[in-house]
Amino acid sequence: MGVRQTVFKNTFWLAFAEVFSRFLEFILIIYIIRALGAVDFGTFSFALAFVSLFSIASDFGLSDIATRELSQDEEVEREYSAIFSLRLILAAAVFVLILFFSFFVTKEFPLRFIIWILGGYALINEFFSIIYAFLRARQKMEYEFGIKVIRALAMVVIIFFVLFKISSIRNICYGYLLSNLAVLIFVLFIFHFKIQSLRFDFDKKIWKKFLRISWPLGAAAIFGAIFVSIDLVIMGFFSQIAQAGFYNASKKIIVITTIPAMLIYMSFFPPLSKFFKDSKEKFHKMWDYYMKLMIILALPAVVGGWAFASRIINLAYGQQFSPSIIVFQILIFMAGINFVYNPYILVLIVSGQQKKYLIVNLIGAVVNVCLNLVLIPRYNFYGAAVSAVVTYVVLFFLAKKFSEKIVPVSSPGSGLVKTSAIAVISSLAMLAVILQPLIYNLNVVLAVAIGILIYFSFSFFLAKNIFKISLL
């Protein structure tokens, strides 16, 4: 009925959709890794990382810009078919690029064919974003929830059938492609007849209008895809296929740990955007609260993840993936940096400084590629993990520098230093408890729960009785 209720409803559905779909996909990937083993999963990881470098270009920032423009002016809905058609053209062009460059990245036809299949899947996966853009503009995130749940269930059903009946790396790739294609066709049918009529509209004026606005975000996303995926591509290029499998197995769990940061980012985006325009004082208070929350969550994630690395890897994949343990212990620091990096990036976006965001990602991509080319040939997946952490350190300081030039985000008396001290002390207390054999050797889920309880108990005690600040 009101703004608060609408924001809460949308945040709830987005969070529920993301957690539910990511959980199902994570369970699926665990079974895929166990079924394929390190070498075949390394091949799968290399192929998917390669196509990911291209597939992000098929959106080119159009989805975010479309959401913004559609939400600000309902008349723009008349241009949606042109935006939709542009996305089709971009997807087709990107698929041609994937086909072309696949001949240079490998001489093996079976691997090249897998790249083609996963290229189709990745482009379909990206194509859903232009549908989500319309739904978000209309404040109908519950529909997005439905689509994501259907997609996740379709993949689980079809790929599990493949795993237990006709298991092979190629058939698994077909499972990804066909399940997403079937859902996309179904969603487009419903969308066309129930929500918004679609037609092919090759209006070059509208295309130029949106591309002129979206290109900084699109370019930034491409550079972001480079420092996220290039490590696996380089490992594949140097024939470190098994190492890529071990590395990506750890990376899949690391991505799960960053879901809270992403969901909180989505929740803070609307109010910070509003306050940046209407009230700098409220913006400062809201941003400080956001950063304190990220600090409180980042420290225990890093410390607990490092301590339980072997338990987590063995539970998920079995002892045959023990080389992934040290990789996980390195990459968990990347996850922690990601928590405290996001608030600064949000400042750049809500202030309309997309070009600064582009520069941050460009420098991050260059640093990551250079480090990977130097470290991977010598240290394989350990080099890739170190490269990822160093890249995020660079990203953090660049984003911090640029955002503080736009607006001094942290207000006096914000309590960030005290919050950091509380997080450090509480994390050390948690570590001392969970490393005790009596706790550490419990079921890993129970041991993690005890660690969380210890951490937050210490945090609230210190905040109330020692540092005299509020964490909530």
3-state secondary structure 387-419: HHHHHHHHHHHHHHHHHHHHCCCCCCCCCHHHH
Asked whether the beta carbons of 334 and 392 are under 8 A apart, the reply is yes
In the chain, % helix, strand, coil (3-state, to 5) comes to 90, 0, 10
> What are the tokens at 274?
């509003």
DSSP SS3 for 323: coil
pLDDT of residue 335: 93
Give 202's contacts (C-beta < 8 A, 6+ positions apart): 82, 85
**Cα 427 to Cα 449: distance, rounded to the nearest angstrom:** 14
More confident residue, 329 or 191: 329
Structure tokens at 340: 């405290």
Neighbours of 211 (CB within 10 A): 16
Nearest one of 269, 351, 330, 283 to 14, comparing CA atoms = 269
- Scanning 59-140, the segments in alpha helix (DSSP H) are 62-72, 80-105, 109-137
Query: Taking Cα atoms as reference points, which of 291, 289, 325 lies closest to residue 306?
Result: 325
Structure tokens that stand for 147 in this block? 């689509």
* CA atoms of 160 and 105, how far apart (whole Å): 30
Residue 131 has pLDDT above 70, yes or no: yes
What pLDDT sits at residue 471? Answer: 62
Residues 332-364: tens digit of each pLDDT: 999 999 999 999 988 887 787 778 888 998 999
Q: How far apart are CA 169 and CA 174, in angstroms?
A: 9
Tell me the pLDDT of the chain averaged across its residues.
85
Residue the block writes with tokens 């660049």? 398
| pLDDT bucket at 157, cuts 50 / 70 / 90 | very high
Q: In this predicted model, what pLDDT tens digit does every residue of 70-106 receive, in sequence order?
A: 766 666 677 888 888 888 888 899 999 999 998 888 8
Kindly report the pTM of this predicted structure. 0.80
pLDDT of residue 410: 56
The closest of 129, 122, 137, 123 to 63, measured between CA atoms, is 129
Comparing C-alpha atoms, which of 156, 159, 154, 150 is closest to residue 191?
150
- How far is Cα 168 from Cα 40, in angstroms, rounded to an integer? 9
Measured CA distances, 62 to 49, 72, 209, 336, 351 (Å): 22, 15, 11, 29, 19
Summarised one tens digit per residue, pLDDT across range 35-74 is: 888 888 888 888 988 898 888 888 887 887 777 677 666 6
pLDDT at position 37, please?
A: 84
Q: How confident is the model at residue 457 (pLDDT cuts 50, 70, 90)?
A: very high
What's the pLDDT tens digit per position in 388-428?
Answer: 999 999 999 999 999 888 766 555 555 788 888 999 999 99
217 close to 354: Cβ distance less than 8 angstroms: yes
State both tokens at 172: 């698994």
With a cut of 90, say whether residue 431 has pLDDT above it: yes
